[in-house]
Amino acid sequence: MHKLRGIWIRLLGSLRRRNSEQDLSDELETHLALDTEAGVRAGLTPEEARRQALLRLGGAEQVRQALRERRTFPWLESLAQDARYGLRTLGRSPGFTITAVLTLALGIGDCTAIFSLVNAVLLRSLPYGDPRGLVYLFTPNPNIPIPKEVIAPSYADFYDLKQQSRSYSDMTAFDQAVFRMASAQGATGPVEKVNAAKVDEGFFATLRCAPEFGRAIGADDNQPGHDKVAVIGHALWQSRFGGSLDVLERQLVLDGVSYRIIGVMPPEFVFPASSDLPYGNSAVKSTEIWVPLALTAKQKAEREPTSNNVIARLRDGVSVAQAQTEMSAIMQRLDTLHSAEMRDWGAYVKSFMDNAVGPVRGLMGMLLGAVGLVLLIACGNAANLLLARAAGRVRELGMRVALGAGRGRIVRQLMTESLLIGAAAGAIGVALAWLFLRLLPRLDPGNIPWLNEASLDWRVLLFALGVSLQTSLLTGILPSLAVSRMSLTGFLANGGAASFGGRQSRIQSALVVAESALVVVLLACAGLLIRSYINVEHVDTGFSQSTVTLKIEMDPRYERPHPGRDVVFKGLIDRIKALPAVNAVGAVNDLPLNNSESVGFIWVDGYANRKDQMAEGRSVTPGYFEAMRIPLIAGRTFTDADTSRKASWTTIVNERFAKVYFAGRNPIGGRVSTDEQHAEWSTIVGVVADVRHSSLEAEPEPQMYNPNYDFNSASVAVRTSLPAAAIAAEIRTALAPADPNLMISGVHTMGDLASEASARRRFQTSLLTVFAAIALLLALVGLYGLMAYSVGRRTREVGIRMALGAQRTDVVLMVMRNAAWLLGLGLTAGLGCAWLAMRAMQSFVFGVGAHDPATIVSVCALLAVCGSVAALIPARRAASIDPMQALRMD
Amino acid sequence: MDDKADVWQGTLALMVLRTLETIGPQHGYGLARRIEQTSGDKLQLNYGTLYPALLKLEQEGFIGSKWGMSENNRRAKFYELTKAGKKRLQKATAEWEQTTAILARFLAPAEEA
């Protein structure tokens, strides 16, 4: 404590030096005077008394020096001196300084920008207490070949798990819902869609989040009959109620039912948001309303899984593995309670964080790796620049050594300069990262959790500081070592023209070789991604990109039997069809690439059926295939007659379905059943082309389409020559007479959906390409710099050669040969590393071999061409050397 | 230095603190004189011994200083004990007494165990 205080005062002392020097002189003067007076009182003459006092007290100057060193930090002062000197020398060669600073700033900026993403996605805390304790519970079933994270425990299993588990402190079951919210103007205004969750009493406690005011949903609210209460989100409170405090006790009409508002959640709480649930409703970007789940006794006893989710919080000290073991044991007991037809329910405990960020960890790792390489290249460049400069300063530094400066002092001087460069680069780098974050919203693929929350918080700034320091040390260490090895006798013997000898130029060459090797790695990885992206863009999606789609929600009041929801919906479609701008119109329950998929077991007549064969199923209206331009391969498309309730069931399958189940047979007229008893059969009337439904990159699965007009909500696809917004406006006008409250949303083209589906790939490809380009630029600058430097140093040698008859082309070739050697070595080493790196990239590529020869060849060619250009400029300069001038030098 | 003893490292700080406690605020010359007298003129303090010790104590917050007038009307810097200094003195005194007691046992004429 007192030590610290001492240091602080000494720091202050450094600033207030002049004042305290004067103080000390006065104090010593007084001391001497008092001592002399005492001598005089003892009977000595004043002169004699003063002489004796001076003898006794010792030298005032020594004590001044001692105190000065005690009072301040001498090293701090010499540091300041170094810094001042460094700034002056850096200022004298602005070209060098700017190049070095910008080079490092690019490296540091990249690193800081990517780290800010990693910080937002992987490191920053979430508003859910400690998210590491949160786990999802699932009950996968080996008989249902779908991902393990789809089926959560049924309500009956949930209550048994809750009772029998010891691993969790809290556990909650909840379900997502989309409500039609009546407008604030009452029944006349347009209905709004609002994302909601139905939650049990454990929900808010499990997520460790309380309302900012009002109360959360409790056990009483979950009693059927008392459940018409709602907790609303901060955003809805602001937009709907203007943030008014009397919101509590006000009412909200959801799906025609009135709910009393009991609480408002804080702004950061929007759980479940899009990335929170493994197979949640991906259209839900954030949840705005929470209402009680309010299960009836019958629902609570239901063993069949529904669409609900289960999330739990592990007790302190319980691991995911322990919870998994316990849940497996419990589920084994509960399995016997399930109906005999569908058993083997398993258990799967998945950590919340793994679920949320697991899929993007690889991407973040790849980006960090890439910027790490860029930074290394930048460091190599800066080190080379410093080395070249140190060589140019041999005379100055040698003179300082000759005058008695210690090696340590010289090294410290050079390190101070590289620290100054690093500090400036760090500041610019942070500014670059800030620019990057401003651009981020345009790059955001929308499916990386919390990416849009990236910012320059203290952690990022600390990181930038750390990187800048590291960089300064890395770049400063080589020149310092080179200088400290400089031989003073050599310097003096050569009349001040000494150099560091061959060692330094070997170091410089090695740095350039290493840089080119790293660039090869980056270019190869970027090449793979670019090739993959081109492949994805050329995937045959099966549908037309220009088709406009919009979503229509059918009001629950149409669920009354007369005239029937299908009749109402067909009326709407007919109105759209009647529009002159519409060439074709059809509807589907789930559009391709909207992340919703319904899969079901199928049974094919005349096929060696297995128990677990599944197909994707979609309901479509006649006209859907025409509107989407999905090519018909065989048979016919649906007609209105197929949708009649009296008609025999018909279905249309895709090519893949026909290939798998009707190999060597004619699928038209074949029969497929989707019910367990195989009682109802649908006849295949047509085969259409494969459509990329779940993702652009996954091969299409067997698909079935069923004719239907009866939708709860449907996406309408329209073929038109009008732009999306214009046709949507026409459709709104056309449908208003039929139902003024009709909810129409989500207007976009199929191309938009496809573009959204490739957004992640675009994001990673463009980032990696930019980094590879920066790396290439830096490495070329490095190569150019080294060539220019060596040409400068060899001016005399070149002059002699030319005087002895060397042609200008010989000189150019000499320089180019040198550059080719360096590049060739770098390329060889780089290809070796790239070979390994490309294998690690396996999970990021699409439709390209991991060691794609085309990529490798292009990388080599690119490096060779760019390298030649970079070397040609110094080579030409070498060729233009005037031998007479060169020989006259020195 | 002939027969005058050198001041042991570290002990001067304790002497300064103790002296300031006994006689209250005092300037450098007064302190030096007082310490020399107390030591029975066995110690002699020159600039180089006294002032670094004073500066160190001041930096560590054990003594404070301000300018004032000496008894014979000279401008002089007066040092005084701070609260932390008083505490420090107590602790250092106890430690010193313990150290000397231990050393005394070692240096005492050997006794039969």
Identity at A685, one-letter amino acid code? V
Are A627 and A547 spatial neighbours (Cβ–Cβ below 8 Å)?
Answer: yes
pLDDT per position as a tens digit, A672-714:
988 877 788 899 999 999 999 888 888 888 999 999 888 888 8
Coil, strand, or helix at residue A411?
Answer: helix
* Average pLDDT score over chain A: 84
Find the CB nearest A58 among B47, B59, B72.
B47
| pLDDT > 90 in chain A, percent | 21
User: In 10 A of CB A12, how many CB atoms?
Assistant: 14
Joined together, the tokens standing for residue A525 give 């990885």
pLDDT at A746: 83
pLDDT per position as a tens digit, B32-75:
989 989 988 888 888 888 888 888 888 888 998 888 888 778 88
Are B49 and B5 spatial neighbours (Cβ–Cβ below 8 Å)?
Answer: no
Chain B CB contacts of A35 under 8 Å are 29
Are A845 and A759 spatial neighbours (Cβ–Cβ below 8 Å)?
Answer: no
Chain A CB contacts of B48 under 8 Å are 58-59, 62-63, 66
| A56 lies within 8 A of chain B by CB | yes
User: In 10 A of CB A178, how many CB atoms?
Assistant: 17
Section A150-160 average pLDDT: 91
| Residue A77 vs residues A10, A341, A420, A692: alpha-carbon distances, Å | 12, 85, 16, 69
Q: Which residue has the tokens 């003893």?
A: B5
CA distance A218 to A292: 8
Looking at the predicted structure, is the pLDDT value of residue A362 above 60? yes
| A40 lies within 8 A of chain B by CB | no
- Residues of B numbered 10-49 whose beta carbons fall under 8 angstroms of chain A's beta carbons: which are they? 27-30, 32-33, 44, 46-48
CA distance A233 to A462: 34
Find the CB nearest B48 among A26, A30, A62.
A62
Looking at the predicted structure, is the pLDDT value of residue A756 above 50? yes
Question: DSSP string of A813-863?
Answer: HHHHHHHHHHHHHHHHHHHHHHHHHHHHGGGG-SSS-TT-HHHHHHHHHHH
What's the whole-model pTM score? Answer: 0.72
| A3 lies within 8 A of chain B by CB | yes
Chain A CB contacts of B52 under 8 Å are 63, 66-67, 70
User: In 10 A of CB A631, how many CB atoms?
Assistant: 14
| B74 lies within 8 A of chain A by CB | yes
pLDDT: is B96 or A357 the higher one?
B96
**CB within 8 Å: A30 and B47:** no
Phi and psi for A583 in degrees, rounded to 5?
A: -90, -35
Residue B113: pLDDT band with limits 50, 70, 90: very low
| A9 lies within 8 A of chain B by CB | yes
- Residues of A numbered 772-811 whose beta carbons fall under 8 angstroms of chain B's beta carbons: which are they? none
Section A319-338 average pLDDT: 91
Phi-psi region of A709 (alpha: psi -120 to 50; beta: other; left: phi over 0): alpha
Section A523-548 average pLDDT: 89
Which chain A residue has the Cα nearest residue B52?
Answer: A67
Which chain A residue has the Cα nearest residue B75?
Answer: A30
User: What ipTM was assigned to the predicted interfaces of this complex?
Assistant: 0.85
| B60 lies within 8 A of chain A by CB | yes
Is A720 exposed, middle or buried, given 0-12, 13-18 or 19+ CB atoms closer than 10 A? buried
| B68 lies within 8 A of chain A by CB | no
Coil, strand, or helix at residue A279?
Answer: coil
CA A734 to chain centre: 43
**CB within 8 Å: B77 and A62:** no
Section A571-600 average pLDDT: 88
Section A273-280 average pLDDT: 75
**CB within 8 Å: A28 and B70:** no
Shortest alpha-carbon distance between residue A2 and chain B (Å): 5
Looking at the predicted structure, is the pLDDT value of residue A190 above 70? no
CA distance A860 to A823: 10
Question: DSSP string of B3-21?
Answer: TSBPPPTTHHHHHHHHHHH
> Residues A693, A694, A696, A698: what is their CA dihedral angle, to the nearest 10 degrees?
-110
Tallying the residues shown for chain A, one arrives at: 890
**CB within 8 Å: A31 and B74:** no
| B76 lies within 8 A of chain A by CB | yes
Looking at the predicted structure, is the pLDDT value of residue B5 above 60? no
CA distance A112 to A265: 33
**CB within 8 Å: A37 and B48:** no
Chain A CB contacts of B58 under 8 Å are 9
**CB within 8 Å: A59 and B48:** yes
Find the CB nearest B76 among A2, A10, A30.
A30
Q: Which residue has the tokens 């001391």?
A: A31
Residue A620: pLDDT band with limits 50, 70, 90: very high
pLDDT at A187: 58
HSE at residue A390, side-chain half, CA atoms within 13 A, is 30
pLDDT at B2: 40
| pLDDT > 70 in chain A, percent | 92
Phi and psi for A851 in degrees, rounded to 5?
A: -110, 55
pLDDT at A25: 84
**CB within 8 Å: B56 and A6:** yes
> Residues A158, A159, A163, A168: what is their CA dihedral angle, to the nearest 10 degrees?
40
Q: Residues A433, A438, A444, A449: is their CA dihedral positive or negative? A: positive
Residue B1: pLDDT band with limits 50, 70, 90: very low
**CB within 8 Å: B56 and A33:** no
**CB within 8 Å: A28 and B51:** yes
Q: Say which range, A216-230, A432-446, A571-585, has the weakest mean pLDDT.
A: A432-446
